[in-house]
Amino acid sequence: MKYLLFSVALIACANQPMSNSETAMALETTNEPIEMKSFYDLRATTIDGADFSFSALKGKRVLIVNLASYCGYTPQYEELQQLHERFGGENFVILGFPANDFGFQEPGNETQIKSFCSKNYGVSFQMMSKVKTNKSRGHEVYQWLCNKVQNGVGDANVSWNFNKFLIDENGRWIAHYESRKDPMSAEITNFAAGKKLI
Query: Annotated active-site positions, please?
Result: 71
Are 145 and 109 a contacting pair, CB within 8 Å?
Answer: no
Are 44 and 141 a contacting pair, CB within 8 Å?
Answer: yes
Are 126 and 94 a contacting pair, CB within 8 Å?
Answer: yes
Q: Among residues 186, 179, 132, which one has the least CA distance to residue 159?
A: 179
Whole-angstrom Cα distance, residue 172 to residue 34? 19
Q: Among residues 141, 142, 135, which one has the least CA distance to residue 32?
A: 135
Whole-angstrom Cα distance, residue 180 to residue 187? 13
Q: Which H or E element spans position 77? A: helix 76-87
CA distances from 65 to 4, 27, 32, 59, 71 (A): 58, 27, 23, 19, 14
